[in-house]
Structure 1
């Protein structure tokens, strides 16, 4: 069950052009340091030491300790005079950079929605800045006064994004397991893929999405949408269903990783209750949607994976199962398959059950069975589906 929501700051709760902001930041802090050290030398040292800090994965050293150890070595002749100037910059001049950022009107709303649902909240911004600078940016975003359980700063954290250790440390400090945490962010690699690697559920905010690798984020995130959609989702989500969906999707992803790392489920931004809805959401013809149906016959069951435009022959099911069949109840479906109706995946099942594959699906290069939830689908070819399910090919 979800118990905490982690929020990225820049690009998620705060609209900011990171490139422009960093240029102005380096210009201003170098100017503050100019009476002590030549600006070009200072900026190079600051960048190099920040890069060293970003690679830190030593749990015995905070990011600040790593940064200052390296930075002092680079500026050994002047660091004693420089350090108080940097402290003064963050305490007084950093706030002048507020003009480079714009608070999202929905940022506070989504965080408040998480609080209203009883979730702990943590600000999971990349901990590259001192506490004073991070809290100042929280003021710009209009969220500084909220009841944050944890704010990640470089004085306290022991790694940075995109290392999974960063997210695992947050979970430990909240007293939770990673799977009890939802990471909300706009960066596909640093926020979503990294948090998922740590075992967290993820929600990708698409308003100001960062995706330099052009990854298909539907294969990475558990949910995605705009800040406005996130606010509604947080306010109305069924946490039990969210938790079950997260567990089911994670189980399918683990199974696929062992079978063929090139296969990955697609997450849709809303549940699809019919073949036609799924086809529209994926932009494919209905026949390519692979329905997974559980039949009961006597004391036995059979799982049939059928093209979306094909109707299963009751006579054929009876012939295969040896008794008059009926559709399994929702309770039976969940017990036998481990998935709820609408999201039944034909593999990684809770129990051993024979699987039958409709031969007509071979006419398509790609078919789309559900991947454990009603808002997911797995693009796969027929031969791989046959291999992963160990299914028997039949004419339905």
Structure 2
């Protein structure tokens, strides 16, 4: 079986964590399967050298001017394609889409248009198309709606990550048996640590996210960095040993440096491996962050956390873990903020919270396993042909 993993790349660490999550489960179930990805240019999210390092075969794939230029690779001699490991789109049996958050008004019509056109081809060829748990919608803009309807019709299974996403999609395309509700699936991935990582002076992670600057209102955008500095300052005053964890990218690094400098130079940790990032978060007593998958990584390991977010997915995530009070706003007063941070610091509140998160995590992991069984039941239809 040839399986394509789509929209999970190497720039966004949440996307890369999803990539590892998919790889682990698929290789457990289908150890002989060939995994493929469509490579991007060198500076893109799926550069050739990175996907081949993980054992992926490249798929010939390039939409330009409404034409799929990758199809022309079919004119190359088969032996030449085999020599370079090049896979044609028509040879793919299953497409697993792990976009995370791409098909929505917020990210524009492009992604939905691309999926609509691509899924039409796949449906005609009998290729299975499965959208793994992800945030979807809203779909208020009229230009995106016909494309969403097309890819929803063409997909074999669609998993919304929380009730808002489920409602956004079903309000547009109607209730369907193939549209289901399951949580984020990276909770099953185990984190790792480098041999030399020292967690002794790094007890509470601050995880900034530049999306809180460029995806929020002007008032929230301007308040975000001061908010993170206020958190860091209070943690230092309480002797809580905070550090800043760079989850990804130069903009997050810039925020980390400004936070650290403002409170006397607390440690900054930058890690490129998403499995190591999850491992680091698992060693913490608590986290305060804005990176969605950083929060999933913490909560799924029973680490008490506070979140600021720029979309509905943050609120629903904390509802899944029974800790709605863990979502704060950058406009909270110092008094409000300190009360929330004290929930993480004081043993009488932190220990019961940790126990609650651990119990909820086990429930959500069971749901993720159930989701994979539904995915595999659909994929088995191909495997048995």
TM over 0.5: no
Q: What is the TM-score when the length of structure 1 is the normalising length?
A: 0.28
Higher helix share: 2
